[in-house]
Structure 1
Amino acid sequence: MTDIFAPFLSGFLLSAALIMAIGAQNLFVLRQGLKRGHVGPVVLFCGSADALLIAAGVVGVGAFLTAVPQLTLFLTIGGAAFLGWYGVKALRRMAAPEAMAVASNGSISLGGAIAATAGFTFLNPHVYLDTVLLMGAAGSAQPAALRPIFVAGAVSASFTWFAALGYGARLLVPLFARPMAWRVLDAIVGITMLSLAASLLMRSFA
């Protein structure tokens, strides 16, 4: 039992440490939770995507991405463009008082929510760094028989975090009943997205 628990805990803790940082994906899940907009599908998509990427990293896809820098550059440029677009959209939303209500009016469709979630997930090079490369390297260091246990621990942390973020956000709804709170959140989202986009571009063309 101890031999199984150790790699599970290792995967869980490493995944939790990487995923809990403030980033584009987490901010989007938080906002969907506050709006109560398709939270279940968004949480399921994020957790499932992490599971796929972590498993892929452990079986060796990380080495492939390292060997193909052109693919990394493509993902970086695409991710920067997506983050920049969403950042501008958040800042414009901040200036629109009618968009501040927590009610479902104006909420995006299920397809739109999933498309946005996919963008934040697969167009963000940091996701591949965390899940495919770092988690993949750590998982590959485990004995072959214990790698699935490591992956299970990492995936459990991912689903736990996104569920807590998405469904726990409703506890903050009373705070966000005030328009100013939405303005502050959208300002943080917009500035964060634009900063991440600029960081990606500077790192790629430095």
Structure 2
Amino acid sequence: MPLIRPASLPLIRAAEGGSDEVGQADAAARALREDYERWSRLGWGALTYLGAVLGTLFGLAMLDAASDVSGGAGRVVVLAIGGAALTIAVVCLLVLHRLWRTGRRLTIAAAWWLRLPFRTGQRSRRAPFWFAPRTVQYEPRILTRTTAGALLLLVAIFGLSSVFFTDAARMPLLTAAMVSIGVIAALCVCGILGGIMRITSGLAEGDPLWTAVRDRVRGE
């Protein structure tokens, strides 16, 4: 599955190059959002996140168990299994990183096209545009991502706080596993919510109240 559809690449490059083709702005923003918000991207993210978490847990558990295994051959087998699990975790992390990078390109470009008609003066900022950046949060594909981000935030807090309620000296690998899971979850939260915020920011360009407050804060 391509993480960015071939049809989206020209639109991304045009946005990155500062295109002023206002006529295709709505269609471009819609296509890029559709590409980013695909259920398949969310599914790949969920699968690779679970792979990274389970691989980390199982791999470190095997490394911890290796010290209790008697016999060199048995220990080698346990270490090999643990190493394979950690390798799977690393591969899943690489896929997650790729999902983040492609998602970032898609949402930055989508936000660019959403802003373009307003910034060029081809479309005026009016009160009805106040609703778009707020109602987008209830669209199924965005709401699912927001919910996933909220749940992952809880996982991140639980994992990172484990350093305070586990005996790190006696259980270093368990603590390392919990902290690793917390870090992975925290990074996923940043990736998921960052994409949603970029789309929301692009939609907010038509909101006269938001742009007035933003420009006032910026001193423009």
Query: TM-score per shorter chain, which class?
Result: 0.3 to 0.5
Give TM-score, length-normalised by structure 1.
Answer: 0.33
The structure that has the greater radius of gyration is: 2
Higher RCO (CA 8 Å, separation ≥ 6 residues): 1
Give TM-score, length-normalised by structure 2.
Answer: 0.31
